[in-house]
Amino acid sequence: MWIIGMLVGGFVLVVPPALLGRRLLGIEASLPRAVLAGLVGISTAGALLGAHLQRDDQRLVLSPVLLGIALLVAMVTLVVLDLAAPAGSVRPFSWPRSLRDRLARMRRYSRIVRIAGRHGLGPYLRGRGRGDGTRHELLAQELRQALQAGGTTFVKLGQVMSTRRDLLPAPYVEELSSLQDRVPAAPWPEVERELVAALGAAPEEVFAEFDHRPLAAASIAQAHAAVLPDGTRVIVKVQRPGVRELVERDLDIVGRLAVTLQTRTDWGRSLGLVDLAKGFAVALREELDFRVEARNMTAVRRAAAARRDDSVAIPVVHEALSTERVLVMTRIDGTPLGQAEPRDEKHGRELADTLFTALLNQIVRDGVFHADPHPGNILLQPDGRPALLDFGSVGRIDPGLRDAMGGLFLAVDRADPAALRDALLDVTDRPEDVDEQRLQRALGQFSARHLGHGSTPDVQMFTDLFRLVTDFRLAVPPEIAAVFRALGTLEGTLLRLSAGFDMLAASRSFAADRLAGQLGPSSARQLAQDELLGLLPVLRRLPRRLDRIGSALEEGRLGVNVRLLADPRDRRVAGELLSRVLLTFLGIFFGVTGVQLLGLKGGPMVTDDLGLYALIGYHLLVLSAAVVVRTVYVLSRPLS
């Protein structure tokens, strides 16, 4: 019984300081952590009690001070624990799995480092160059080889990097563009298990025919030919077994490498590698979910159908058979554009014009577009028409940005620096201190170099535009960046089809046709009708409001009401700021008053050697220390 009594007594002594300290700090600490802090506080106070207070009357008088010390130590312990291991970050039951994941990550990380070292990239991972005058062409080749050897995630990373002409020099873009995402096919038994798990039955039970040999195999998925029971020929895209776990581990490594390189290297900081790695991780995780690709494919196809545009074929998704890891779509026969040749020069020109116009329509009219139109994602059908494949990467633009993009195309058509400046500021997030005059002059030079008569657009035009945006610190929204990347990727495809294809002339023709369509009788009437419907509620209220304003002016009652701190967020920030200031002053006041009381002589005596003034001073010092701990913890938190 005495053991139970001791446990109950200890619990009663420990829990109040723990819970009170957690409450005073406003900290989100679990009960075990709070009890641990209370135990440390009581132990410290007990040590002081046994070492310095020998008489019963001293223990009785100073017990509030000692409890205050226990509370203070508990608060300090909670703050230290929160700084060392924030709430929720320590989960003992997850340690075995975490250790296993850490060991697997370390093995993979060491393999990646060995690959980088084998291809001469080790010094760059340590934040230093090789110092041997290595040319960009050779370094770009070594980077491509290292990424190819790294596997799925790093091949995808290289392919994404090859579209960033705004960040990488031309030799790297050209070299990384040749990265091929082809690997040996996965064994059929493993693929069959994936299909059974996704479809709920063996492939032979779902399809009338199913070819075990893949048509194509990539690092994330492979494609098989099949026939549905109704005779429809389809392509079944199956995710490779185990690829998700590998990609997640590699994405963790990419994120850690990005943090290291951005911290240690100037070029990493200038490129903003951490943000790039986060964007890449989001895109790659979406690519692992075939349901996203199915929605993208359906959205692009339906938007084209609404415009009655069948110039580019798009597969139809069989949603009933498609899952997160299996995608079933109609089969389109043809030859990948990278391996096909147009019938003649005229056909090549028509193909280029068709693809470019289709992409511009998707961007400006539909607001949903294929964001990765490289030759491998375009088929040339036997009848000579193109078809788009692989909709894992799709961009979406809201109506406001679509209108801004239309203005940008019109500004390009007119080669007007002022209009180009306004359009560029509309499609980017402008900083507060942007120099619009200097931006207009820079755009004037850009227009003279790339948009003048006789100018031929090339890769350098996109590179110069990206550099100009970077120099003026114009933040390009992800949607617009996807547009630029898609156009930059398509540019190489178009030149492959027609060596003399002029993207600038084609974009001018598209802008002129779109403007003419908007100025046509039916379009103008529809636009006027839409605007009028939006203005009707305002027009109805306008006479009454004008009458009120006129009456107020006539009688001298016109005034302006301004509500300070009307926004709840502003009130919350102001309240938190005021509470921090008050806490600081209270802590200083209690501390200074306590020190002054300890220095006073005389006054009533509580015990033989302890005066009342000193006792109050001790209490105030403990209270001051508690307020200071609370203030320090609050100041370390950001204003909400």
Burial 551-565 (b: 16+ CB within 10 A, else e): eeeeeeeeeeeeeee
Q: Exactly one of 372, 390, 413, 416 is catalytic; which is it?
A: 372
Neighbours of 609 (CB within 10 A): 9
Both tokens assigned to 166: 């705004």
The span from the CA of 621 to the CA of 60, in Å, is: 19
What is the Cβ-side half-sphere exposure of residue 587, based on CA atoms within 13 angstroms?
Answer: 14
Q: Strands, DSSP E only, in 27-113?
A: none
How do 233-239 and 221-227 pair as beta strands?
antiparallel
Cβ atoms within 10 Å, residue 312: 21
Cα torsion through 287, 289, 294, 295, rounded to 10: -90
Q: Are 303 and 340 in contact (CB under 8 A)?
A: no
Contact 455, 492 (CB under 8 A): no
Burial 351-387 (b: 16+ CB within 10 A, else e): bbbbbbbbbbbbbbbbbbbbbbbbbbbbbbeeeebbb
Q: Which two tokens stand for residue 386?
A: 């193109």
Neighbour-count burial for 254-281, b at 16+ CB within 10 Å, e otherwise: bbebbeebbeebeebeebebbebbeebb
Is residue 390 part of the annotated active site? The answer reads no
In angstroms, the Cα distances linking 463 to 56, 165, 276, 460, 484 are 83, 5, 18, 5, 10
User: Which residues are catalytically annotated?
Assistant: 372
